[in-house]
Amino acid sequence: MNANSIFQFLIPKDKKFFPLFEEASKNLILIATELHEAVNAPLKERENIFQKMTDLESKIEDITRQTNLELSRNFITPFDREDIYLLITAIDTVAGNLNGAASRMKLYQVDKITKSIRKLTEINLEACQNIDIAVRELRNFKKVKNITDACARINKLENKSDNVYDKAVSELFENETDAKNIIKYKEVLSVLESATDKCKNAASVLESIAVKHS
């Protein structure tokens, strides 16, 4: 048993941070699911779905605040304080990007949803599901490979997102003649692609935590 394992054995089992991480990642899947449903739903149903997304983002923001509050209250934490902050902030940032994409669709009245937008929401949903898989393995670190495998899948999804985005923007400039449409569709695509980048950032934090405790 190495020194880190001995330390983990001696400290009390965490009952505060892990539930907060898991609640945040669960809500992250929900907000990604709602976005994917929105771009596949009839126009008249999108407003209600977008409102659900706003409510979910608010929940994740509350969890982030609670996590930071617990950091200020607790001397002993399950892993590095900086990593706790980085992880919950990364999850919060992904949620903000996903809801930001929905807000732009509403603001710019993007009524016609393209295949590329649908594909990017699908990629983001899968990336968020993998964040949740990794987060739920943090409780005991017994299956570190499950964390690193989930992170590897997220990295592949981020590369896939880049390819979808590049192709979509290229086609947009080639085929669209209305400057307003170019601006609004490119903005939505950009935020969706950025959301996958933020998923990759979360994966980097998770992988760093796993390595430190393996």
* pLDDT tens for the chain, residues 1 to 214: 444 444 444 344 556 899 999 999 999 999 999 999 999 999 999 999 999 999 999 999 999 999 999 999 887 888 899 999 999 999 999 999 999 999 999 999 999 999 999 999 999 999 999 999 999 999 877 788 999 999 999 999 999 999 999 999 999 999 999 999 999 999 999 999 999 999 999 999 999 999 887 7
d(CA 119, CA 150): 20
Q: pTM for the full model?
A: 0.91
pLDDT of residue 15: 67
Answer whether 103's CB lies under 8 Å from 148's CB.
no
**Tokens encoding 198:** 């933020």
Establish if 77 belongs to a structural domain. yes
CB atoms within 10 A of CB 65: 12
Number of domains present in the structure of the chain:
1
Nearest Cα neighbor of 120 from 77, 76, 79, 167 is 167
Structural domain range at position 54 = 14-212
Cα 3 versus chain centre, distance: 33
Establish if 9 belongs to a structural domain. no
Establish if 1 belongs to a structural domain. no
CB atoms within 10 A of CB 29: 16
pLDDT of residue 83: 95
CB atoms within 10 A of CB 48: 11
d(CA 87, CA 204): 9
d(CA 206, CA 154): 11
Nearest Cα neighbor of 139 from 29, 24, 27, 17 is 17
Establish if 105 belongs to a structural domain. yes
Start-to-end CA span in the chain (Å): 11
Nearest Cα neighbor of 121 from 139, 142, 100 is 100
Establish if 7 belongs to a structural domain. no
> Cα–Cα–Cα angle for 5, 11, 15, nearest 5°?
115
36: which residues sit within 8 A by CB, 6+ positions away? Answer: 118, 121, 122, 124, 125
Establish if 51 belongs to a structural domain. yes
Establish if 180 belongs to a structural domain. yes
d(CA 185, CA 107): 12
> Cα–Cα–Cα angle for 127, 204, 145, nearest 5°?
80
| Residue 112 DSSP one-character state | S
CATH number for the domain including 188? 1.20.58.220
| Residue 1 DSSP one-character state | -
Establish if 186 belongs to a structural domain. yes
